[in-house]
Structure 1
Amino acid sequence: MYLIAVILLSILFIVVGTARFKQHPLLLLLLAALGVGLATGQPATDLIRTIGRGFGDLLGAIGLVVVLGSVVGVVLEQSGAAQRIADAVLRLFSEKRPALAMASIGAVVGIPVFCDSGFIILSKLSQHVAKRTGVSPAVTSLGLAGGLYTTHTLVPPTPGPIAAAGNLGAEPYLGIIIGLGLVIMLPNILLITWWARRAGSSLTLSLPEKDTAESTTQLPSLSASMIPILVPLLLITVASFGSLLGLPESLAGPVSFLGNPLIALLLAVFLCVPLLRHSTNSTLTQAISEGIVQAGPILVLTGAGGAFGAVLKATPLAEVVSGWLGGEALSGVGLLLFAFCTAAFLKTAQGSTTSSLVITSSLLAPFAVQAGFDTGLELALLVAAVGSGGMVASHANDSYFWVVSQFSGLNSRDAYRSFTIQTLLQGLVSIITVLLLYLLLQV
């Protein structure tokens, strides 16, 4: 219980410090990381190394992706391409449903693409949809963030659900897991649309006001505008599904290379060059410079969140959770609820959705068969229960929280009140859907 209390106090320290006392998250995250490490007996030299490694590892994983995504976003904005795409999206969904439009787009993109990368790529589009419809950009940002987050945690081939399926012996049933995830996605989309309108309408964002019309002469065509978005998404999608399709080695290597988010977004930067002729005051060099400036604060906060998460992972948290099982097998609804609660606790404490899914599914693997979960559908429901818990809840120790808040212009206090609560509600709606499906299929 001491470890649990320390972790909860560290989270409370960050939330209260940013939301109530308006302190900068960087300072609070580093102090929380040091506090947890010292309180749990981690040697000082090891603790300092863990903080540095956590900061560097996360930036090594997504740092350049954030920078390149920011550059693409700058070009899409300054060339008018984002405005052109926003017009097309609203013609498809109608201007009365901007939150539904962005949630639906996010849900589709989030199946093959990491939610962090997806939000970075589509954030400018979200802002232009908001501008076209007259709603707060927070509405469309919450819609996009929620849609991406839903399929990221529930639908393979994202790593979390794939790993959970592997640990639980459900790899032969990936098709069922994908189908079940898509079913659970539907009530999530409805929830996200309602919550984004309710929570986002009253929020004021800190994004700088820019008049795109002044920097453009004529809007680019829709096809030219879409290319820098569709090409990286397509490459990442093909690479994600490549492992499922069993591609020959001669193709798997090149596909995996081109589908890496870093390579895909680097290519997207070059594909943006033709759009620059529609901007009267921007060059590729200027766009890169502005993208780096925009990415700086995001990188610092994301890295600090990674440092905090690394210190939490260095605690014996997994062993504590494993001890909760007490060697007793659960059954039916009890196992599904335990899977949800365990994954939710690990997600909230450690910040990583993928880690929470991997650890929880590993702990549950010995008990699944004892509990009677041996068919494809039952195992798929168990994977979905773990994924539902992995949604609860995104906050200061989650890199996605900082990507969403910084790219959308939400301050920390508003991000807790809107996005963090949204992820909590998404997890609850998802597990309720899982339980209803389990009970219905048991009749």
Structure 2
Amino acid sequence: MPTLLQINVTANWGSTGKIAEDIGRIAIEAGWESWIAYGRGNPHSQSKLIRIGTDFDMNLHGLQTRLFDNHGLASNKATKHFIKQIKAINPDIIHLHNIHGYYINYEILFDYLKEWGGPVVWTLHDCWTITGHCSHFVTANCDKWKATCYNCPLKKEYPASFLFDRSKKNHKIKKEKFTSLDNLILIPVSNWIDNLLKESFFKFTTTRVIHNGIDLTAFCPKEPSSFNIDKYAIPANKKYVLGVAGTWTKDKGLYDFYQLRKILSEDIGIVLVGVSDKISDNLPAGIIGIKRTESIHELSLLYSNAIAFINPTWADTYPTTNLESIACGTPVITYRTGGSPESVNQSIGLVVEQGDIEGLNNAIMEIINCTNVRFKQSTCRDYALKNFDKEAHFKEYFEIYNNLINPKS
């Protein structure tokens, strides 16, 4: 029985943890043994689980990051113990996801992976892998990573360092360790990341883009008759546009919604899902804040009954919120940022330039005034069925696994 070991900061929790869970499930259904090693939380999984380190180890790693900007270079003891567990499992494939997150030492890990010599698949969900510090450099308009990082403009952003700037040294170590494997394939989740890799120290490494997918049975159009308006304080028959985020920040476009409120017709509301208590207490008039929804069903109702889903993100890789909205039959309006436009075409949404608030407003009006099949519920849903099925996307990973352990002659 072949054995798969995935490594990620979470297991069956958060976007990357759920992706690892689904990949493990597909492997199990195919008769494989599946393990997931993770850094935080108390998850349940169909796969066998290994926690790397403890809460104390993670907190100590975070403290060292804050002081010394050495993220990913702490957790020595926890990583060495984990390597002993890898040897006992003896996997056929090791699949990396996010190895940042204060839980593993990538230098020790990659020294072992080089010694092991087996096939390594690495899904890249953000840009941390190719930089000396940050996970997204777009907001700083920084391209130092193409040669070597230094004087990081995002030093105080995740993974934040408040004292030292080791971005130059970090970039050098990453380049040395991450390019040391002979049997590595990178899986960027967007064409945008794939293009960045070609300008980075990974320019000679094999890549294959696999976009993220979603559960199309969970995210699907819901009839307005089943929509509990009163629960969310949305006035009856009120037209609204929707924004959704796990954590609302400037980079997620929170203040862009504030600016949009100033010019958007008073007949159209703005509903934001995922706001904190602090943000909720300070929202401008005309913006309804929902702290969280209780289920995917409720979130699908909010998507389904919106005029459009607005995603004014300033730094994103391939946001699944776009996919969720389209699957619920609602068109998407997004900034031309990272991989966000890759899920949108002119039949199911519109793309505007970063910071163009007037452009967002005009796009909303264009969707409202459209009289043909563009932006219609059936058009969006049909596109989602053809392009966003997570089962089809995750099976692509399994095809890669089989090709790696049973190479074609």
TM range (shorter): under 0.3
Structure having the higher helix fraction is 1
Higher strand share: 2
Q: TM-score, normalised by structure 2?
A: 0.24
Per the normalisation by structure 1, the TM-score is: 0.23
